[in-house]
Amino acid sequence: MRQSFFVILSVSQRLLLFITDGEKEMAKAIAKGNNISELRDAIEMVVRMLANKGIKVTQSGIQAFVSYDKTTLEPERVNIPMISEKSSPELVIAIKGFVDHEVGHLLFTDPKVIKRAVEEKVGNLHNIFEDTFIEAQMKKAFAGSTRNIDKTVEFAIKHFFQKSFDEALKARQSNPEMSEAKFFIAGLVVPAIRAMAGQEAAIEFMADKWVHIENVYAELKLLEPQIVGINSSLKALQMANTFRDILCEVDQRERDERAKAAEEAARADEDDEDDGSGSSSSSSSSSGAPEDSRSMGDDIFNPEEGDESQASGGSKSKSKSSSKPEKDGPEDEDKPDEGGSEAEGEPEEDDSDGKGSSGEEGEEGEADQEGEGAGESEGDSEEEPEGEGAGKGAGEGDSEEEEAEGESGGTGGEETESDSSGGDKESEKSTDFEGGDGGERLGDDGDERNRDTSGWHGGATTRSAGEREDLSLLKDIEEVDTYDSALENALTEGALQSLQDRSYMAFSNENDKIETYSVPDNRMREVKERRNRLRQENSERIGVMAKALERIIAARNRSTYVPGFKSGRLHSSSLYKLKTGDNRVFRRQEVSRTKDTAVMLLVDCSGSMSNRNRIYKAAEAAYALATSLERINVKTQVMGFTTIENYAFFSEARDQLAELAATRPDFKGGFDRVSPLFMPIFKTFDERMTPECETRIAGLPTVDMANNADSESVEIAANILAARREERKILVVLSDGQPAQQRIYTYEERADRAKQHLHHVVDRVEKAGIEILGIGIEADAVNEYYPKSIVLDNVAELPTKIVSEMTSMLLK
């Protein structure tokens, strides 16, 4: 039922959405350090699937969960925990498999059937069956999902279902009364159903576990063809109801057998006590029969012990003792079988007058009346085969007297058990997807069949009050853990491990914003005035830089002839080589050109940039550099980076860590960023330097300045740049200092993971082939993080300092 979807967009993964076809190799290299290559395809597919679904997708904190509308049961939000760069490939592929699984629900689940399954109290069980169907459909529709889905099943078995089985087995060993059906629901239902559906990982897992549920499996294995053949949500619902019926039937049969064994043990104990009484028992017997010739029933149904023996007999009296009340009476001691025959021959008379079949009076007759129901049923079962007696018992199960018999300790339960395993049950098995559900049922043709709502019913049998199934089993079935909940649990545990490995991890990207900047209306006049000043003050500077770069590029774009080839144009000066047998007397033209280049300008917009008007200097430098590069046809994008103050965001992170600290005292972890990112775009690669772009760049100082998460911002910018088709890619970062961001831990963190992470990101981006230049705005902190860096104290220095660095990059 988990019709929910999400986008994995942690740290540097978000901007992969901008990657164009055929330009992903560099993005793969950047992604290698934090598993982007594993998640990219899933991200792109889910983004397309979610375009018009209206489902809120978040990646936040440490908990995996799905929230639903309480009325429609439609998903409202799905959340995936943040994972660190050091997360295992196993966890990453589990996330991919979960994506494919949830897309399967989107494509193949019928929401109306989901609602009905919940009403019929088999919502979770229906989900378990439907999962096998939607995954099979996904594999057919999208061959690439097969590996993800199969590996995710392995992940769930390893990290959840093995533990569930171990816990259930331990519980069963400590509680011998735990039924096989309850054990099955607690520890094996999901892998067992998946094994019966043909999933290899589940088959392997269940290979040595079927022995723990022999009785359950003996019944359920007959459904394997139907489980494999489930082809709709409706069929999954029908199978869920049938499955529940069979589990309840097996559970009832086991409880009946246990009660029967307990009764026999009680009788044996009483017989031992009577044997110990010796001659006193023999002398008091009116029949004078030898002590060793008395049966167990003689003692249990002694009129003087009638109440006690009824209590000990319970609802499981054996058919062989059905005529014992008559045998115990002194007047009938020579006719041990008479009572049974009479009970068998006159059932209607017994029902009408409520008297015992032997017609005895006094205290002995009263005892017979109290045990009449049991005696009558026992007489039947003594004369008939077990199956026939059971069928008869079932047919009469609706009468008020039989309900009373069930409550007073008669053997109705035993007869009903026989009925359940007899003809009616075989009829039930022969009809696909039929069985009781405690409410309305769906047949194969989709029609509704009204069923008794008083409880579960196997076949056509209506159990009496004392014989109905253990209601706690129905509750267990209703609340059984699903595959989806197992994955949520396993993913949450994986996120916890990420928190504890002390690698960099943000709390969430839910409220991160990467969007085209819009200058506030109330500051537009101010910004336009600044734009005009930028044009005037930098026109000369821009001209100098543009011409210098253009000359260098023109010099680079030259052609020369190189001799020494065996083919090409004849080089007369090399003809002498022919005397020595050297035929390399030709020349070829070689053309040197600058590589097609894209440049990303990333500007620090944090609060510290307001000191000494640094943000104005950064805006002027970005404007001058972007305009100069455009004049020589180098594609350029200008972005900023800062954070958004959000107290609710911080509080949620703090509360999650507080809860962890309370439940896991030894837990040590935390989040390195607990405020959303804001990365305004002032000019895109595909825009010319229009007045609108100039206005946005001039509006840089109007950005709401907060903190600066340098490492994540550099990584995002690098991923946008990696998506470009240009051969050479250059990232220029303009900043005034160290990373500074709001963070929270459950322990005292001495190391600054934000700084460590920036070193790691810069190294990874450079190894991916993107060149990085750090420009310090009146600060030399850039020298610590960027191998190539310059410090700019005055914008007037820009032409001389930037041209030399850009020249080496452009002509490299």
Residue 694 has pLDDT above 90, yes or no: yes
CA 17, 21, 25, 28 dihedral sign is positive
Query: How is residue 728 annotated by DSSP?
Result: E
Spell out the residues 6+ positions from residue 784 whose beta carbon is closer than 8 angstroms to its own: none
pLDDT of residue 709: 94
**What is the Rg, in whole angstroms, of the alpha carbon atoms belonging to the chain?**
41
Sheet of 75-80: strands edge to edge? 56-59, 75-80, 65-68
pLDDT of residue 649: 87
Query: How is residue 411 annotated by DSSP?
Result: S
Q: Is 489 helix (H, G, I), strand (E, B) or coil?
A: helix
Can you give the pTM of this predicted structure? 0.61
Beta bridge partners of residue 67, listed in sequence order? 77
Backbone angles phi, psi at 541, to 5 degrees: -60, -45
Please check whether residue 310 is in contact with residue 371, taking contact to mean a CB–CB distance below 8 angstroms: yes
pLDDT tens digits for range 751-772? 688 899 999 999 999 999 999 9
Residue 812 has pLDDT above 50, yes or no: yes
**Residue 651's CB: how many other CB atoms inside 10 A?**
11
pLDDT of residue 46: 62
Spell out the residues 6+ positions from residue 441 whose beta carbon is closer than 8 angstroms to its own: 238, 241, 434, 435, 448, 449, 451
Rounded to whole angstroms, how far apart are CA atoms 403 and 390? 16
Beta bridge partners of residue 57, listed in sequence order? 78
What is the DSSP annotation of 420-452?
Answer: HTSHHHHHHHHSTT----SS-EE-TTS-EE---
Backbone angles phi, psi at 507, to 5 degrees: -75, -40
What is the DSSP annotation of 667-683?
Answer: ---EESB-S-EEEEEEE
**Residue 459's CB: how many other CB atoms inside 10 A?**
23
Beta bridge partners of residue 708, listed in sequence order? 740
pLDDT tens digits for range 306-324? 444 343 344 333 333 333 4
730 sits in which H/E element? strand 728-735
Query: How is residue 594 annotated by DSSP?
Result: P
Q: Is 23 helix (H, G, I), strand (E, B) or coil?
A: coil
pLDDT tens digits for range 200-238? 999 999 999 999 999 999 999 999 999 999 999 999 999
638 sits in which H/E element? strand 635-643
pLDDT tens digits for range 504-529? 888 888 789 999 999 999 999 999 99
Residue for token digits 């699984």? 101
* Out of 55-59, 454-458, 710-714, least confident range: 454-458
Q: Beta strands 670-671 and 744-745: pairing type?
A: antiparallel
Rounded to whole angstroms, how far apart are CA atoms 584 and 318? 110
pLDDT tens digits for range 348-399? 444 444 444 444 444 444 444 444 444 443 444 444 444 444 333 334 444 4
